[in-house]
Amino acid sequence: MIRVIVADDHPIVRSGIVGLIALDPGLEVIGQAANGAEAVDLAARLRPDVVLMDLRMPGTSGIEATSRIAAELPEVHVLVLTTYETDDDILGAIEAGASGYLLKAAPQEEIVAGIRAVAQGHTVLAPTIAATLVTRMRGERPGRPQLSPREREVLRLVAAGRSNPEIARELFIGEATVKTHLIHVFEKLEVSDRTRAVTLALELGLI
């Protein structure tokens, strides 16, 4: 019997997933969580084989919860089940230690097979997710963003740990101009924070 915890902040969706799992006699739902913090707590107390984890939940996110479970409970496998398939979500989940990444739109048999595979220590990725990761590894990200020389310069200084005021002084520009450059960088790279911007720029060879 494979013991599963289902973590999803939408009660109806969570019930649907629980009902889907209940149809398989070899799977058992032993706990339900409405957010990441509850998922971590339940995993620590119940030690399931698999945590079926949504990504975007209030408070502790699915990615943060996955990271904590991977660090504190290495014997517990996390299978992400979400509606989101952006690059940041995929990479964030995999880097956090998820053993698999499936979409909620996947057929029932694919989700059940994914739970079984992850419980046995295998990695499971939806076809579209696998294709995205392969593309990123090959450096063939579609529409590879182009940063201006000044934007690259600002991002290189961010990577070196400089604050906005320090960057402004070093480049002899205003702090507001630094912020504007970073906003443009975030938009072009489709990220929302400095750390991810630097990481992605390094992956793409932009800095």
CA atoms within 13 A on the CB side of 30: 16
Tell whether the model's pLDDT for residue 18 goes beyond 90. yes
What is the pLDDT at residue 140?
A: 52
Burial of 51 by CB count in 10 Å (0-12 exposed, 13-18 middle, 19+ buried)? buried
What proportion of the chain, given as a percentage, has pLDDT over 90? Answer: 58
The pLDDT, as a whole number, for residue 128 is: 75
Q: Summarize pLDDT for 105-146 with one digit per residue, the tens.
A: 888 999 999 999 999 999 898 877 777 776 666 555 555 678
Q: What is the largest CA-CA distance in the chain?
A: 67
The model's pLDDT over 69-85, given as tens digits with 9 standing for 90+, comes to 999 999 999 999 988 76
First-to-last C-alpha distance (Å) of the chain = 49
Residue type, 41: D
pLDDT at 93: 87
The mean pLDDT of 156-180, rounded to a whole number, is 91
